[in-house]
Amino acid sequence: MSHASHLGLEDFKRCLARVPTSVDIGFAGYSEPWLNPDCTEMVEHAFAKGHGIRIFTTLVGMNGQDLQRLQALRLGVFVVHVFDDGTYM
């Protein structure tokens, strides 16, 4: 059993190799995607393989370099979640 705290880039590449390019890849979930240090590389890899990309993020963990790299891609969806009344996103 692995005790990894996040999905590594090489494991992501192996998993993605089995996914048809007609399937969009979403970076979202119950945890902030950019808390994974490999997230930008994963997005770039999925995009390079021909997948549509959907991102839902609070931007936590993302830096200016990540944003510049993502701007170079044609992303299908990029949604930034912000607090609406201090308690909900």
Q: Is 61 left (phi over 0), alpha (psi -120 to 50) or beta?
A: left
63: containing domain: 9-14+23-80
Residue 78 near residue 52, CB atoms below 8 Å: no
Other beta carbons within 10 angstroms of residue 31's beta carbon come to 11
Place of tokens 């890899």: 45
Count the domains in the chain: 1
Does residue 76 form part of some domain? Answer: yes
Does residue 74 form part of some domain? Answer: yes
Per-residue model confidence (pLDDT) at position 88 = 58
What gap in Å lies between CA 81 and CA 78, rounded to an integer?
A: 10
Does residue 41 form part of some domain? Answer: yes
Which of the pair, 79 or 87, is modelled with greater confidence? 79
Which tokens in the block code for residue 52?
């549509």
Which of the four pLDDT bands, split at 50, 70 and 90, describes residue 10?
Answer: very high
Does residue 54 form part of some domain? Answer: yes
Residue 4 near residue 34, CB atoms below 8 Å: no
pTM for the predicted model, two decimal places: 0.88
Does residue 69 form part of some domain? Answer: yes
